[in-house]
Amino acid sequence: MRLTGLSHLPEQLRDISAIWASHSVADRLVVIRKFRLLLAGHSELIASKVQFRPLADTIASEILPLLDAARFLEREAHALLHPRRVGCKGRPLLLAGTRAVIQRRPLGAVLILAPSNYPLFLTGCQMLQAITAGNAVAVKPAPGQTGCVAALTELLSSAGVPPGLIRILEDTDSAGEAAVRAGFDHIILTGAASTGRRVARLAAETLTPMTLELSGNDAVFVLPGADLELVARSLAFGMRLNGGATCIAPHRVFIAETMAQDMEARLLRHLAKLRVPKPNPQVSSVLASLTVEAVAEGASARNIGGVTFLTNAKPHMALLRADVFAPWLALIPSRSMAEAVRSDLTCPYALGASLFGPEAACRKLASDLRAGSIVVNDLIAPTADPRLPFGGTGESGYGSTRGAEGLLALTRPVAISVRRGPWPRLHLRSPGSGDGRSLAGLARWLNFF
């Protein structure tokens, strides 16, 4: 869509959303089900739109989780979006005779600023949740990923999404900026923290609320008693997955000093089996510069299987506090897990974290972490559970996508109260001189227990 038409796009989408939202949730979910069946039947064709990774990897990391996300909506969205009646329990006495219901209504026009690393799964989940909630959507694809968004949109159209409910914008930065300035009802951005700041400043001009799914610099905690072979295999998987270009890829590995040497040997063996592609020149340059700086401060570094692997790293090093979207790992010897948690809290990013070790100890330690997605004795894969919200805090953004929380975030609650019967409406009385004392006595009586 051309930039000249963007200023009127939100209003056009609101009109289309109003028509779409007039359909029942059940009718909308029929479309979601048809989409899921079409996606399952054309999975290889759709996956082939992603040209920077093997077909099997795309089906595993994008198509299958997106199918699960659609099925989750089919099963749960009706109950989540259904009007909720508020019972009498807890109702203030002075509101006797009042009945209330809370409705979930669509926001209207939703703008999705889509990512480049998982253009089918992440973008698709956000599109499905937005239209299930009754919204109309404009999608600004990541540069070079228009084909992926178009493929999803075509499937949704074939499934019964009405014309115009989903608009695809140009994949340029200028198109994204113009769309943000146009004044949508909500913006979902998946990207770097620097991009999040820039977009948030623009969105503030129109008071547009946002969901920001931003950068990560994820921590891994290896507790005493952990299966170090499982840890090594998991970390190698995290580096191999999407060439390390995953927002919840592991980077900072906290481990007891007495276990560090064994962990290093196991990691070297597993990383040597990898062939991780080199990131783009700009990212590679940043990683190289920060690695040189870390070495100057006492760390050791080597490149193994395409992964930059640092040992004897310290939490204060710039690389361990930066947003570098590349395959790198830093082993951080710690005197205790309490020290490791304190060190982790100094990092401005808090998206995901993984813990390895005895379950009870991991659960206890997890309660001290800031990350929004915490996995015990595994890494990354469990976060694709469509029932779970996904989001971080600090430099990793705010708000949640996916799960019940992600769906409800694309609606607004509307409370409707109805007064019935002959119950006195004391607030309609003309105020009297003794009302203050009477009301004070009433307050004491109502709050005696």
Average pLDDT, consecutive stretches of 10 residues, N- to C-terminus, the chain (449 residues): 75 98 98 99 97 94 98 98 94 89 98 97 98 99 97 98 97 96 98 96 98 97 98 98 94 97 98 95 96 98 98 97 96 97 96 98 98 98 97 97 98 96 82 86 84
pLDDT score for 137: 99
pLDDT score for 4: 55
- Helix (H/G/I), strand (E/B), else coil: 328: strand
How confident is the model over 166-202, as pLDDT tens digits?
A: 999 999 999 999 999 999 999 999 999 999 999 999 9
- Could you state, in order of their start, the residue ranges of all structural domains in the chain? 3-214+399-412, 218-386
* Residues 259 and 223: beta-carbon distance below 8 Å: no
> What is the C-alpha to C-alpha distance for residues 421 and 419, in angstroms, rounded to an integer?
7
> What is the C-alpha to C-alpha distance for residues 328 and 267, in angstroms, rounded to an integer?
12
From the candidates 213, 293, 297, 395, which is the catalytic residue?
213
> What is the C-alpha to C-alpha distance for residues 351 and 329, in angstroms, rounded to an integer?
17
* Residues 284 and 294: beta-carbon distance below 8 Å: no
For 3-214+399-412, give the CATH class.
alpha beta
pLDDT score for 240: 96
Superfamily per CATH, domain 218-386: Aldehyde Dehydrogenase; Chain A, domain 2 (3.40.309.10)
Does residue 213 have an active-site annotation? yes
Non-local (6+) Cβ contacts of 269 within 8 A are 232
Q: Are strands 300-304 and 307-311 parallel, antiparallel or unpaired?
A: antiparallel
Which of these, 313, 345, 351, 348, lies nearest to 329 by C-alpha position?
A: 313
pLDDT score for 113: 99
pLDDT score for 428: 83
